Structure formats: structure tokens, C-alpha cells
Amino acid sequence: MPDATGTAVTSTPRALRYLVLQGVTWMAAALVAGAFAWMLADIIWQGAGRLDWSFVTTSPKSAGRSGGIAPILVSTLLILTVAIAVAAPLGLATAVLLSEFTRHGGHAGRWIGLSLDVLAGVPSIVFGIFGNAFFSVWLGLGFSILAGGLTLACMALPILIRIAESGLRAVPNDWRLGAAALGMSRATVLCQVLIPAATPALVAGLMLGIGRAMAETAALVFTSGYVDRMPSSLFDSGRAISVHIYDLTMNVAGGDRSAYASALVLIALLIIINGAAIGLADRALTRRITPI
Amino acid sequence: MRVKKLSRFGIAVALFTTFSSMAHAAENKLVLTGSSTVAPLAAEIGKRFEERNPGVRVDVQSGGSSRGITDARSGLADIGMVSRSLKDEENDLKGFTIARDGVGIILNSANSVSALTDQQITGIYTGKITDWSAVGRKAGPITVVNKAEGRSTLELFLHHFKLKASDIKAQVVIGDNQQGIKTVAGNAGAIGYVSVGTAEFEAGQGTPVKLLGMTGIAASVENVRNGSFPLARPLNLVTRDEPSGLVKSFIDFAQSADVHDLIKEQFFVPLGP
């Protein structure tokens, strides 16, 4: 009898608490998903009418109110290519240093880690001013796609390194020991075992970095610039799509619809790049790891 | 193999950096920097200029009037863009007005206020008047919308009302014209000031904002052009030296009637008829 009442008393509130907890987590998730869905619906609602094939294949006219965004799209992709080409190898190398060649919790690792975390929190406008002073003026790159890409690489590096590092650390130590027991050199272990195993994390880091880079405005206004002509080389100034959207909403009266359409293109581009990268990473992973 | 690829990347980056200075010094290239208000207009003028002068390139960069002054002085830009009259300490630069822009006080359409005196506007912006009932209208708190420091519109506004930036007690600080219009359109008790051309266009499009006249003169594009509207500013191109060659032909072109349609397209006011 006391046993039965005991369970009844404790189980009802517990079940209730569980229900409430479940309800709250669902609501939080629904809120986040809802906010994104609302934003996306708003952009599609306002921008879809302006978006057609010619929008992505022609040059802007009348400061972007009419015409398309072809040169801006090309500039954006070029800036992104430069940023990835520079950030990926540098980021990977630093992550390898941090995870494989420094003691966990050692002095060097701690200081490098700390400086990376500080760098990750630096506002983008600071990177913009640094990029302008260092790449554009001091190195003489001027307003150019190259200067913009290099600035973005600096911005994406901290996040990229941190995620790649944790990916490398997550590779079980047994694998390193096993490889050492087989007499494999450190370089071979790195290239054949550790990096392939950490590929998903490397790609995730790269994706976050690219996401930050594609959405960047403040760092690019002063480095890659404002020119909306089709770029003919990496030394040309080229307007990135986020700068274009900002300019249309803020400086161009009547540019709202083009801004929405450009935002739609930007989101589509991000989804395509993310999807492609995740697909590639999966393929690389199954090819390298499964047969072993 | 991977290591080889990585080192090739490194070499490529190093080479880029070395050759950059050579590629930078291009002939037949004009660089304009400065006011984000003038930049879209200058970019359009530049495109038409490029069409008429094959082989010439006009690169327009934005960043604000102060930047236009600094870059023209340092020679980083061939031409600076400045959306206000030049100050006394800037008379080392040569200025060329290409268009005019009027700044008008805007209210939400739901607001029944139809005119404010300069004194009342000063009172509202310095925080002495905080409720619409003080100007004889339906009671309700006033939301003061001010421009961010460094904006030419702010300087023009302060100069006209003889205020200092620190005198202003604002609830909302905004950056650009569009942002100002959006803020006032979304708040029935708000007061702000933006470019007349932009406000006239947005009000025509059905955005719930209205322009207030100043000292009895309606805030309209026409009154900005004929100079009767008191709160107006010139849009200037500035150069360090007396313009010659390409710089001179570009400035001449920007002041010619050939670009009046472009100026109107940006809701600014051309100087000539």
C-alpha cells in the first residue's frame, strides 16, 4: 500500500515535468525553424517576381534597380575562390599543428588557441579596415577581388582552424598508435589516416567559414569594392553580392525588389555550395576509410 | 602529392603579391571614392562615360564623404565624392557640383502635424519637446530619428539648425536614407530627415511617410532645383589639382546635360534646366 502510493505520487509530477520539458524543447525548435521559414517566405514572396534567367545573366542597370547581377555573381564566386584557396591549406596546416604537434593544454597550443578565439570574435568591419590598410594600400593590391578574398580568408581562418582541429582530435588515438606500430611515418599517417578521417569536420569548418564569407559586407566594401563591371582579372575591383544587397536597400531608392531577388540568389547559392561540399566529403570519406 | 599541391598554392600566392604592384598602375583608369549617396550616381555616369570613351575604365568606390576628401587629398583616388559643401579647411581641393539634393523633414502619414517651425524642430531634436501635444497635436511620445555621426545629411541638418552633434537627443540612430524612411514608416510618432528625392519617391509609391515644408516652402524636387528650399546640399566631385586630361573630361561630362536623366533616375536634382 505505501509502495503503491509512493510511486503514484512521484510518477505523476515526473510525467508532467517530462511533458513540459518536451513541450518547451519542441517550442524552441519550432521558433527557430519558424523564424527561418518566415524569412525565406518573405524573401521568396518579394523577390521571386523579379527573378528570372536574365537576372543572373545580365549586368545591372540604373544602379541595380533593373537589369541583372551577372558581374556581381562572378565577382562573388572569384572572391570566394581566392578566400578558400588561401584559407583551406593555411587552416588545415594550423589545425594539424595544434592537434598533432603541440601538447594538449601546452603553452604554445594555449596561446595560439586563445589568439584564434579572440580573432573569431573580432567584428568584420575591423577586418575590413585591416584588409584595406594591409592588402589594398600597403601591398598595393588596391580595390581588388584578390584583396577582398585575402581579407575574407583572414576572417574565415579562426573558425576553420578551430573546427578542423577538433575534427582531428576526435580521431581515436588507437589509430595513431596502430599506424605507429605499423612503422608508418608521421607524414603518411597524417595524409592517409588522420586527414581523411577528419574530412567531415574539415568540410563543416570550411562551410561555416564560407557562410560567414558569403554574407560579408563590411569587410568587402573597403577591399574588393563597389564596381559592378564584369571583372577581367583578380586585380579588378568587383562588387560582392552582399555589398550589392546592402547598397540596394540602403542607398538606392526603389531598389528593394532587386535586393530581395539578389538575396534569393545568395541563399540558393549557399544551399548549392553546402550540398555539393557535403556530398563530396561523403564520397571522399567512403572511398578512403571503408575499404581499410 | 597533397603536400606538393599545397606548396604550389603558396608559391602562387607569393607571385600574386609580388606582381600586384605592376598590375595596379593601369593607364586610362579613373578611381572615385567617397560619399555613399553620390556613389550609385557616379557609377552610372561612369558606365556611360566608358561607353563613349572605349578603353577607359571608371572605378567607383563608396565609404563616405570624409573618405572622399581624404582619398582625393592623398592621391589614392583621382576624384573624391562629397555630398555637402566644402568646408573652409578643405579649400585646398577643387570642387565641382554635379547635382543637388534636398533634405526634408519626414513624419509618418498617420501624424496630423502639417508644419513645424524651425524652433519646434530644434526643440524636438534637443529633447525639450518630447510629446506631440506640445506642438498642439494629439498627445503621443515623439520618436526622434537621427543620422549616424559622419553622415553628410547630419552635418547639413546640424548646420542649418545651428546645433552640435552632442545637443541631439535621439531615440533611433540610422545610417542611410532608406533606413530612415523605413523607421519613420513603421512608427506613427517618429520624426526624421532624409533626402527629398528619396522621400518624394517613396511617398509616391505608397510608403506611409510625408514631407514637411520648411519656413513655408514645400519640400519638393522643384524647390530644391531653384534653390528656394533652405535645407539642400550640393553633390560635389573634388580633386587635389586643377583637373586635366581624363579627369577633366569626366568632370565636364558629369556636369553636362548628357547625364541629367541619370541624375533624375537617382532622385537627385540636376543643376541646369
Residue ranges covered by each domain of chain B: 2-100+234-270, 101-225
CATH architecture of B101-225: 3-Layer(aba) Sandwich (3.40)
Please give the interface size between A and B, counted as residue pairs whose CB atoms are below 8 Å apart: 96
Q: How far is B70 from chain A (nearest CA, A)?
A: 14
Name the more confident of B149 and A140. A140
Please state at what angle helix A2-47 crosses helix A256-289, rounded to 10 degrees.
Answer: 120
Residue A9 above 80 pLDDT? no
Q: What is the pLDDT of residues B167-216, one digit of tens each?
A: 888 888 886 777 888 889 988 889 998 888 888 888 888 889 988 888 78
Cβ-defined contact of B9 to A250 (cutoff 8 Å): no
**pLDDT bracket for residue B152 (50, 70, 90):** low
Range(s) of the domain holding residue A205? 53-289
What span, in angstroms and rounded, lies between the C-alpha atoms of B65 and B154? 12
**Cβ within 8 Å, pair A187-B2:** no
Q: Within 13 A of B52's CA, how many CA atoms are on the CB side?
A: 13
Domain count, chain A: 1
A contacts of B202 (beta carbons < 8 Å): 253
What are A216-232's pLDDT values in tens digits? 888 888 888 888 888 88
What is the per-residue pLDDT across B253-270, written as a single tens digit (0 to 9) for each?
999 888 988 888 887 888
ipTM score above 0.85: no
* A243 assigned to some structural domain: yes
Give me the pLDDT at residue A255, please: 78
pLDDT in tens, A26-45: 999 999 999 999 999 999 99
In a domain, A185, yes or no: yes
- Return d(Cα B193, Cα A116) in angstroms, integer: 43
In a domain, residue A134? The reply is: yes
Which member of A142, A228, A253 has the closest CB to residue B198?
A253
How many Å apart are CA B45 and CA B262, to the nearest integer? Answer: 7
* B-chain residues near A225 (CB < 8 A): 59, 61
Say whether residue A9 is in contact with chain B using an 8 A CB cutoff: no
Q: Cα(B11)–Cα(B18) distance, rounded to whole angstroms?
A: 11
Highest mean pLDDT among A196-200, A205-209, A261-265, B137-141 belongs to A261-265
**What does the pLDDT look like over B97-125, one tens digit per residue?**
999 888 888 999 888 888 888 888 888 98
Enumerate the residues of chain A whose CB falls inside 8 A of the CB of residue B3.
187, 191
Selecting from A85, A140, A222 the residue whose C-beta is nearest the C-beta of B24 gives A140
How many angstroms separate the CA atoms of A40 and B211, rounded? 33
Q: Which residues of B touch A93 (CB under 8 A)?
A: 6
Predicted confidence at residue B1, as pLDDT, reads: 45
Interface test with A, best of B178, B179, B269 (most A CBs within 10 A): B178
Segment of A165-169, A248-252, B138-142 carrying the highest mean pLDDT = A165-169
In this complex, the residue of A191, A237, A250 whose CB is nearest that of residue B175 is: A250
Q: B136 to chain A nearest CA, in Å? A: 33
Inter-CA distances, A231 with A77, A147, A248, Å: 11, 14, 20
Whether B173 contacts chain A with CB within 8 A: no
In whole angstroms, give the CA distance from residue A152 to residue A146: 10
Is A99 among the domain residues? yes
What is the identity of the amino acid at B214? Answer: M
Q: Answer whether B11 touches A (CB < 8 Å).
A: no
Q: What's the pLDDT at B231?
A: 85
Contact A226 B61 (CB under 8 A): yes
Is residue A252 within 8 angstroms of chain B, CB to CB?
A: yes
Whether residue A291 is predicted with pLDDT greater than 50 in this model: the reply is no
Percentage of chain A lying above the pLDDT 90 cut = 24
User: Nearest CA of chain B to the CA of A21: how many Å?
Assistant: 37
The predicted pLDDT at position A290 comes to 55
pLDDT score of B83 more than 50: yes
- Tell me if B179 and A93 make a contact (CB, 8 A cut-off): no
Placement of cell 567531415 in the chain: A200
B173 vs B57: CA distance, rounded Å = 37
Strands (E), chain A: 60-61, 66-67
Interchain pair B21, A191: CB under 8 A = no
Question: B2-100+234-270: which CATH topology?
Answer: D-Maltodextrin-Binding Protein; domain 2 (3.40.190)
Least confident stretch, A124-128, B1-5, B223-227: B1-5
- In this prediction, residue B251 carries a pLDDT of 93
Cell of B29: 583608369
Q: Which residues of chain A lie closer than 8 angstroms to B179, CB-CB?
A: 250
Chain A interface mutation, best of B62, B81, B151, B201, highest count of A Cβ atoms under 10 Å? B62
In a domain, A43, yes or no: no
Name chain A contacts of B36, Cβ cutoff 8 Å. Answer: 247, 250-251
pLDDT tens for each residue of A175-204: 888 888 998 888 888 888 888 888 888 888
CATH number of the domain to which A97 belongs:
1.10.3720.10
Cβ contacts of B249 within 8 Å, gap of 6 or more: B53
**Cell (9 digits) for B59:** 572605378
Q: What is the model's pLDDT at position A194?
A: 86
B22 compared with B252, residue with greater pLDDT: B252
Q: What is the pTM of this model?
A: 0.75
B137 to chain A nearest CA, in Å? 31
Which of B60, B198, B265 is closest, CB to CB, to A62? B265
C-alpha B80/C-alpha B32 separation (Å) is 6
Question: Does B75 contact chain A (CB < 8 Å)?
Answer: no
Instruction: List the single residue in A62, A221, A253 with the smallest CB-CB distance to B202.
Output: A253
Residue A150: inside a domain, yes or no? yes
Touching check for A284 and chain B: CB below 8 Å? no
Q: Is residue A17 part of a domain?
A: no
Residue whose C-alpha cell is 577538433: A166
Same fold, B2-100+234-270 and B101-225: yes
On whether any CB of chain A is under 8 Å from the CB of B6, the answer is: yes
- pLDDT band at A1, cuts 50/70/90? very low
Query: What is the structure's pLDDT at A25?
Result: 94
Q: Is the model's pLDDT at B14 over the cut of 80?
A: no
State the pLDDT confidence band at B237, using cuts at 50, 70 and 90: very high
Q: Does B146 touch chain A (CB under 8 A)?
A: no
| Closest in A146, A225, A226 to B16, CB measured | A146
Mutate to test the interface with A, among B1, B19, B20 (most CBs of A within 10 A): B20
